[in-house]
Amino acid sequence: MRDAIELEWAGRPTVAIVVDALVGAAEQMKRVSRMPEYPYVVTPFPVGSLNPQELGVRARQMGDEILRLMTTNRPKE
């Protein structure tokens, strides 16, 4: 999350992908980074054990939301 926020500060639009088990930590990072509007997409845990086909399915499921967040309502510092 912090890397994505750093990229936002550098002028590079980003959307973090956060596993559901870490949403609390993601919210905390947004708060301490003073980026309360920073967008992210939540995906079910686990991710690391998925095979390439399963990852592809997961990515396609998140694609529309990522595109929407990348192009609208960009966060402000």
pLDDT of residue 73: 66
8-state DSSP, 72: S
Count the Cβ atoms, other than its own, within 10 Å of residue 23.
12
pLDDT of residue 71: 87
Q: How far is CA 43 from CA 22, 59, 72, in A?
A: 10, 9, 20
19: its two tokens: 């596993």
Per-residue pLDDT tens digits of the chain, which is 77 residues long = 999 999 999 989 999 999 999 999 999 999 999 999 899 999 999 998 999 999 999 999 999 999 999 988 677 65
